Structure 1
Amino acid sequence: MTADLTVTAVHLTPILVADPPLLNTQGVHQPYTPRLIVEVETADGTRGVGETYGDTKYLELARPFADRLVGRRVSDLNGLFALADEVAVDSSRVSGQVDVGGLRGVQTADKLRLSVLSGFEVACLDALGKALGLPVHTLLGGKVRDAVEYSAYLFYKWGGHPEGVAAEKDDWGAALDPAGVVEQARAFTERYGFTSFKLKGGVFPPEEEIAAVKALAAAFPGHPLRLDPNGAWSVETSLKVAGELGDVLEYLEDPALGTPAMAEVAARTRVPLATNMCVTTFAEIPEAFAKGAVQVVLSDHHYWGGLHNTRQLAAVCRTFGVGVSMHSNTHLGISLAAMTHVAATVPNLHHACDSHYPWQSEDVLTERLTFDGGRVTVSDAPGLGVELDRDRLAFLHRRWLDDDGTLRDRDDAAAMRVADPAWVTPSVPRW
């Protein structure tokens, strides 16, 4: 009997997940970060899961989107874009904003819709795969690798959240200088087997971050290294850092803010530049590629609009000889599974992908995904190959319900002001 793939219900569960005090140029991560778990249910009882950002502005779009999805088939993936266009966006939510959660530049209504759509697309693919008995990578055309390589995502980090702030404890310790960064990298290697390293920069003066990368190069000779200050530097500072680290960096990620500045840096250095800030939509590709502003685009299915759009992005990059890898924000196992499935299908994925997952002590899955030698094995089970732990989901949702609204929108600057009331989000360029 043919399965009935009509969507009969959509379940949206916002949650708050523990997050360590990781530093970036905007401030510091809050003790809990919002995520949204999307479940679609079909007429034959099949359920598919997806995950995306859980801030209020995303929830406001997800709810009407969910209503419109009922009655459609989970296989109607192209139709999701038409549904998204039907959902109105409050312009006050996005006008001129920098998306703090992703540190990915100015946000627009279209970007916001795509970020919501991505969670639904993954849920539909998971349900479709389960109904057909096929893994998601097969639905995307088939895998070209059996395991996907990830990079250790290093952060400057406090030893704990400020005293008096309710938070979960972590065992990573502080990392506020080159020695601390190297020790953190060793821990990542011992626990997960990572062989490449990315440091989130833009936190301390460039000289200190140059020293940290040089310390990593000395501790891990020959291993790929990356540095990402999230556009915190001027063109001249970017060139200075590139000159100092040109012999050890795999690439320099978003040293300066915006395509014109990136193009100027790229024209004056041989160090490849990567981005997840100036190229975040297809409309931003022509200018960046024509100007030679970036040599590697960091895809992210959460804001490109899902797994199919991620594959299209990779194909465009391949056409223009631009490298491709994968950006990561704070995420759980559902997203890591989705990232791994789509990454397994991209032929021109020549750089290890980013992943925040090792930083997350909490998850909504019955079994955490694991890294072996810095790689995640691609599941051949139907759908994403993951299963929700409904007790954990309920627990994390209860935390969201009990919150007074303070943590339902990620705000790294607000979290920093708890420790430093005088903190103001730095203007760009910061150095």
Structure 2
Amino acid sequence: MDSEDSALRIDRVHLTPVLVADPPLLNTQGVHQPFTPRLVVEVVTRGGVTGLGETYGDTRYLDLARPLADALPGHPVTHVNELFVLAARVCDPHRSGGVDARADAGGLRGAQSADKLRLSVVSAVETACLDALGRTLGLPVHALLGGRVRDEVEYSAYLFHKWAGHPGQAPDAWGEALDPAGVVEQARRFERLHGFRSFKLKGGVLPPDQEVAGVRALAKEFPGRPLRLDPNGAWTVRTSLGVARELAEVLEYLEDPATGVAAMAEVAAATELPLATNMCVTSLDEVPEAFARGAVRIVLCDHHYWGGLHRTRELAALCGAYGIGLSMHSNTHLGISLAAMTQVAATLPALRHACDTHYPWLTEDVLTTTPVFRDGRLAVSDAPGLGVELDRDRLADLHRRWLRDDGRYRDRDDAAAMRAADPDWRPTRW
């Protein structure tokens, strides 16, 4: 083994779970808790270079990440394809009790499986390996993926119905948004602060006619702008079709109005409005049925779901082969994930829709600098790796919060947070 090869081998892996402040954003599963768990992954090479990755921080992900981290020393950062084999061998999802068939309240990502849990962990390690490799070679991650096809990546403002503040806490800077006027004011603020040109409203919270009114108010305030509505599968086929008729001339696409491929296919067959998903197609084994039945016309990629940045590019190629459009999903992520999203988005020629991002909602991060949106876009960094640097003091602060937590927030549970405010609350299927 020559010295160069040795320098690119992993020496150690650091896993740092953190709790990050989160606003009271509403969705069909409940409300965001005051803090959300994330996991920061650091891959340190024998050459002394550290690469960064990030994924979900819930206990079931952390329990899988630990044995994978233990197995990684000696593994070359260039051999990211082997991560999937290694994870399948050492990660046992049943240890954490994390496999079930219900919707994941933390990400609303559809049915879970052992493979999906592993892929979410692998995604952070793969990103960290690519970051370390890029830093070592002096190349941006997009160059390791084949090079960028755009200089900027457009993002969409992510609008939520929300409370003014968490119960027992003072109102936040965004205030309440529980009607069309509140949603429009939220959108105005996003445009003023970040220049966003398109808007996505998280639905499935209020009665559908009220959410239709919210979208119409946005269309009046921002004529001609791309608008999306995502109720996370909260509607019946009948309701979905009714909303599709009401908003056919207004929406860019309707995302996951109903749950499951069969229901989505039924809706799709009866409307010309494009349907998008990040729930019924989140892994390769869900692709054949959904595409064959015409259930969706747009898939929202997410490197956290699919197993990393290379797998995201594979999904993009698969969608292109079937004539399926491509957008990008977001979860409550930190700046490390935002950098990774931007790097891979820059390499996808068929990405013709603005990407989702929760990032502007956050007031805390673990980076030394805050990414700046200009006209709703992020410039694609050409700096080595992901182009971001870790602020170790901020990371330590958020980790100390996780250490002090009594287990209340280490597993995100939007339904539990809602029931804390209203013990009789139950998810509604409209």
> 1:10-409 residue pairs with structure 2 within 5 A?
10-86=13-89, 87-90=91-94, 92-163=97-168, 170-409=172-411
| Cα distance in 1 for residues equivalent to 2:46 and 2:353 | 41
| Cα distance in 2 for residues equivalent to 1:64 and 1:169 | 41
Q: Give CA deviations for 1:166-201 in whole Å, capped at 9, x if unaligned.
A: xx8631111000000000000000000000000000
Q: Give CA deviations for 1:276-312 in whole Å, capped at 9, x if unaligned.
A: 0000001111111111100000000001100000000
Given residue 128 of structure 2, which amino acid in structure 1 is its aligned partner? A
| Cα distance in 2 for residues equivalent to 1:266 and 1:373 | 33
Q: Give CA deviations for 1:374-417 in whole Å, capped at 9, x if unaligned.
A: 00000000000000000000000000000000000000011011
Given residue 46 of structure 2, which amino acid in structure 1 is its aligned partner? A
| Cα distance in 1 for residues equivalent to 2:149 and 2:101 | 40
Q: What is the Cα deviation at residue 74 of structure 1?
A: 0.5
Given residue 57 of structure 1, which amino acid in structure 2 is its aligned partner? R
Greater Cα shift, 264-273 or 86-95? 86-95
| Cα distance in 2 for residues equivalent to 1:6 and 1:85 | 21
Which 4+ residue blocks in structure 1 deviate beyond 6 angstroms?
none
What stretches of structure 2 of length at least 5 have no aligned partner? none
Q: What is the Cα deviation at residue 418 of structure 1?
A: 1.5
Aligned-partner SS, 2:4: coil
Greater Cα shift, 126-135 or 415-424? 415-424
Asked if 1 retains the 8 angstrom alpha-carbon contact of 2:154 and 2:376, the reply is yes
| Cα distance in 1 for residues equivalent to 2:78 and 2:12 | 15
| Cα distance in 1 for residues equivalent to 2:105 and 2:310 | 25
Q: Name the Cα RMSD after superposition.
A: 1.0
Aligned-partner SS, 1:10: strand
Greater Cα shift, 87-96 or 47-56? 87-96
Q: What is the Cα deviation at residue 98 of structure 1?
A: 1.8
| Cα distance in 2 for residues equivalent to 1:276 and 1:98 | 12
Asked if 1 retains the 8 angstrom alpha-carbon contact of 2:9 and 2:75, the reply is yes
Aligned-partner SS, 1:14: strand
Q: What is the Cα deviation at residue 113 of structure 1?
A: 0.3
Q: What is the Cα deviation at residue 89 of structure 1?
A: 1.5
| Cα distance in 2 for residues equivalent to 1:268 and 1:197 | 25
Given residue 234 of structure 2, which amino acid in structure 1 is its aligned partner? A
Asked if 1 retains the 8 angstrom alpha-carbon contact of 2:156 and 2:198, the reply is yes
Given residue 249 of structure 2, which amino acid in structure 1 is its aligned partner? D
What stretches of structure 1 of length at least 5 have no aligned partner? none
| Cα distance in 2 for residues equivalent to 1:170 and 1:193 | 21
| Cα distance in 2 for residues equivalent to 1:88 and 1:173 | 43
Asked if 1 retains the 8 angstrom alpha-carbon contact of 2:68 and 2:87, the reply is yes
| Cα distance in 1 for residues equivalent to 2:257 and 2:9 | 46
| Cα distance in 1 for residues equivalent to 2:405 and 2:423 | 22
| Cα distance in 2 for residues equivalent to 1:220 and 1:133 | 42
Q: What is the Cα deviation at residue 2 of structure 1?
A: 3.1
Q: What is the Cα deviation at residue 88 of structure 1?
A: 1.4
Given residue 348 of structure 2, which amino acid in structure 1 is its aligned partner? V
Asked if 1 retains the 8 angstrom alpha-carbon contact of 2:164 and 2:171, the reply is no
| Aligned position for 1:6 | 9
Asked if 1 retains the 8 angstrom alpha-carbon contact of 2:37 and 2:56, the reply is yes
Asked if 1 retains the 8 angstrom alpha-carbon contact of 2:237 and 2:267, the reply is yes
Greater Cα shift, 302-311 or 81-90? 81-90
| Cα distance in 2 for residues equivalent to 1:159 and 1:423 | 19
| Cα distance in 2 for residues equivalent to 1:94 and 1:88 | 10
Q: What is the Cα deviation at residue 422 of structure 1?
A: 1.5
Asked if 1 retains the 8 angstrom alpha-carbon contact of 2:298 and 2:326, the reply is yes
| Cα distance in 2 for residues equivalent to 1:348 and 1:378 | 17
| Cα distance in 1 for residues equivalent to 2:106 and 2:171 | 22
| Cα distance in 2 for residues equivalent to 1:423 and 1:100 | 15
Q: What is the Cα deviation at residue 84 of structure 1?
A: 1.0
Aligned-partner SS, 1:93: coil
Greater Cα shift, 90-99 or 147-156? 90-99
Q: How many residues align?
A: 425
Aligned-partner SS, 1:33: strand
Aligned-partner SS, 1:351: coil
Given residue 252 of structure 1, which amino acid in structure 2 is its aligned partner? L
| Cα distance in 2 for residues equivalent to 1:333 and 1:419 | 30
